[in-house]
């Protein structure tokens, strides 16, 4: 607990929404040191900034490992991440040191699901190509065989990881006339009943789906899950969409699958690395739509994420309940 009159030290690794900063200053229990930039904190600055901190508010682009925890030292009580994903944090090391972790589940589910559906439709119906043709004069007339894509009506959709976001994506897709909703994961989900979801082995999902959506968390088991072997089982007409984490996909294998016509198209909100270099081979393909990791990027969602991450941090600093504490 805080000694009378002494403010606890907090390091915030980026400019975050005002909603979060206001909560931290209004609480009057901590002194905030901010990496006052929209760009990621450099590693050396992170190691310096965290020294002696009681709390750390970080982003998914900050690798929180033993080196950072050692640099912080024994005062560190809480790490609050402005994300639902926590694959950037070495949980085993954090646990060893008895540090609590806050994250931002639920509040970004709708925004991320909405963006994933937008990406799926943009990819399947070739929207970026169409927009480009209008601008570059490629639009000569209405042509029966031009810019045709794939529709959801009567289709089979496969969701890899029917968690909070996976379910929210499925809910939004069903009204488009989806005939079957398949999902795979480690466990059967009771909530799948809401979308008539059928739990199937991954191989069945990829071979029977017209649209494959990846919405699982990144774990040692899901890293590189979508590789040559998996793409080779997909239909040639399959549309593949990933809004989980870039490293769930083997991008070299995806490039091969897209350029050889093994699958029809891919939409990616997440890549490896981020940002994807502008000369990356995937960016040369018309049938690959890449977005800059904007799943949760609505003004209101980011504001709520900022507020939640601040409340989580305060809970950890004061030894009280956090609104969203990660149990691990
Ligand atoms: P949840 O924990 O609710 O869902 C994760 C799902 O992944 C669970 O259903 C889990 O299934 C599944 N999963 C775990 N291992 C596997 C596996 N081996 N094969 C298939 N599925 C698996 O998390 P959220 O839905 O809230 O978030 C999911 C992820 O989305 C985040 O971890 C993050 O990486 C990403 N994300 C991306 C955003 C963006 O901007 N693009 C925004 C927000 C999140 P089971 O329970 O059976 O293990
Ligand atoms: C997350 O929260 O994990 C996303 O990737 C960004 O909102």
User: Does 42 fall in a domain?
Assistant: yes
Residue 214 forms beta bridges with which residues?
A: 160, 242
Confidence of residue 97 (pLDDT cuts 50, 70, 90): very high
Question: If phi over 0 gives left and psi between -120 and 50 gives alpha, with beta otherwise, what is residue 177?
Answer: left
282 and 304, same domain (yes or no): no
Cα separation of 90 and 187, whole Å?
A: 24
36 and 169, same domain (yes or no): no
Report pLDDT for 3.
Answer: 52
Q: Is the pLDDT of residue 4 over 80?
A: no
Nearest-CA residue for atom 4 of ligand 2: 83
Grouping H, G, I as helix, E, B as strand and the rest as coil, residue 211 is strand
Ligand whose nearest atom lies closest to the CA of 158: 1
Who lines ligand 2 at CB under 6 A? Answer: 60, 83-85, 108, 295-296
Return the DSSP state at 13: -
Which pLDDT tens digit goes with each residue over 165-180?
Answer: 999 999 999 999 999 9
Which pLDDT tens digit goes with each residue over 214-267?
Answer: 999 999 999 999 999 999 999 999 999 999 999 999 999 999 999 999 999 999
In terms of C-beta density within 10 A (0-12 exposed, 13-18 middle, 19 or more buried), how is residue 327 classed?
A: exposed
Nearest-CA residue for atom 3 of ligand 2: 85
Q: Is the pLDDT of residue 7 over 80?
A: yes
Grouping H, G, I as helix, E, B as strand and the rest as coil, residue 64 is strand
157 and 228, same domain (yes or no): yes
pTM: 0.97
User: Does 111 fall in a domain?
Assistant: no
Q: Is the pLDDT of residue 1 over 50?
A: no
User: Does 47 fall in a domain?
Assistant: yes
- Report how far ligand 2's centroid is from the alpha carbon of 102 (Å): 13
Report pLDDT for 53.
Answer: 98
- Cα angle 246, 247, 253 (rounded to 5 degrees) comes to 95
Q: Is the CB of 105 under 6 A from ligand 1?
A: yes
* Average confidence (pLDDT) over 97-120: 98
Which residues does the annotation mark as catalytic? 293
267 and 303, same domain (yes or no): no
160 and 192, same domain (yes or no): yes
Share of the chain above pLDDT 70, in %: 98
- Report how far ligand 1's centroid is from the alpha carbon of 100 (Å): 21
Query: Is ipTM strictly over 0.90?
Result: yes
* Residue 122, CA distances (Å) to 82, 117, 129, 287, 289 in order: 28, 8, 9, 10, 8
Domain count, the chain: 2
- Report how far ligand 1's centroid is from the alpha carbon of 296 (Å): 14
* Average confidence (pLDDT) over 267-278: 98
**Mean pLDDT in the chain?**
97
User: Does 250 fall in a domain?
Assistant: yes
Q: Is the pLDDT of residue 316 over 80?
A: yes
143 and 166, same domain (yes or no): yes
Which pLDDT tens digit goes with each residue over 280-304?
Answer: 999 999 999 999 999 999 999 999 9
99 and 144, same domain (yes or no): no
Mutate to test the pocket of ligand 2, among 40, 84, 308 (most ligand atoms within 8 A of CB): 84
- Report how far ligand 2's centroid is from the alpha carbon of 84 (Å): 5
223 and 157, same domain (yes or no): yes
Nearest-CA residue for atom 16 of ligand 1: 185
140 and 245, same domain (yes or no): yes
Closest by CA position to 288, among listed 260, 309, 327, 322: 260
Q: Is the pLDDT of residue 154 over 80?
A: yes
143 and 276, same domain (yes or no): yes
Give me the torsion for CA of 81, 312, 29, 54, rounded to 10°.
Answer: -50
Please report, for the domain that includes residue 95, its CATH number. 3.40.50.720
> In degrees rounded to 5, what are phi and psi of residue 219?
-135, 170
Strand order across the beta sheet in which 156-160 lies: 197-199, 180-184, 156-160, 211-214, 239-242, 265-268, 288-290
Q: Is the pLDDT of residue 2 over 70?
A: no
Ligand whose nearest atom lies closest to the CA of 269: 1
- Report how far ligand 1's centroid is from the alpha carbon of 160 (Å): 9
User: Does 282 fall in a domain?
Assistant: yes
Residue 41: which domain range?
8-105+299-326
Cα separation of 58 and 41, whole Å?
A: 10
* Residue 301, CA distances (Å) to 114, 245, 305 in order: 12, 19, 6
- For residue 290, the number of C-alpha atoms closer than 13 Å in the C-beta half-sphere is 24
Which pLDDT tens digit goes with each residue over 118-140?
Answer: 999 999 999 999 999 999 999 99
């Amino acid at each position: 607990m805080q000694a009378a009159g002494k403010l606890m030290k907090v390091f915030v690794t980026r400019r975050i929404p005002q909603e979060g900063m206001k909560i931290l200053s209004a609480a009057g229990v901590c002194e905030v040191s901010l990496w006052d930039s929209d760009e990621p904190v450099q590693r050396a600055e992170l190691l310096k900034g965290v020294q002696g901190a009681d709390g750390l508010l970080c982003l998914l682009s900050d690798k929180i490992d033993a080196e950072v925890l050692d640099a912080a030292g024994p005062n560190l009580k809480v790490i609050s991440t402005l994300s639902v994903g926590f694959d950037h944090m070495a949980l085993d090391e954090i646990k060893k040191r008895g540090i609590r972790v806050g994250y931002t589940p639920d509040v970004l589910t709708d925004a991320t699901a909405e963006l994933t559906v937008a990406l799926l439709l943009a990819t399947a119906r070739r929207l970026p190509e169409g927009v480009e043709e209008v601008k570059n004069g490629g639009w000569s007339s209405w042509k029966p065989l031009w810019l045709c894509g794939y529709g959801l009506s009567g289709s089979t959709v496969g969701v890899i990881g029917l968690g909070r976001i996976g379910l929210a994506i499925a809910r939004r897709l069903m009204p488009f006339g989806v005939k079957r909703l398949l999902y795979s994961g480690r466990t059967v989900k009771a909530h799948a009943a809401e979308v008539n979801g059928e739990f199937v082995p991954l191989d069945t999902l990829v071979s029977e789906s017209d649209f494959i959506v990846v919405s699982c968390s990144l774990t040692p088991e899901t890293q590189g899950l979508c590789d040559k072997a998996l793409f080779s089982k997909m239909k040639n007409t399959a549309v593949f969409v990933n809004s989980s984490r870039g490293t769930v996909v083997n991008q070299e294998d995806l490039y091969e699958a897209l350029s050889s016509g093994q699958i029809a198209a891919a939409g990616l909100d997440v890549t490896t690395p981020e940002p994807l270099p502008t000369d990356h081979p995937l960016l040369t393909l018309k049938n690959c739509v890449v977005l800059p990791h904007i799943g949760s990027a609505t003004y209101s969602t980011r504001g709520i994420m900022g507020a939640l991450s601040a409340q989580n941090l305060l809970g950890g600093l004061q030894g009280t309940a956090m609104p969203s504490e990660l149990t691990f």
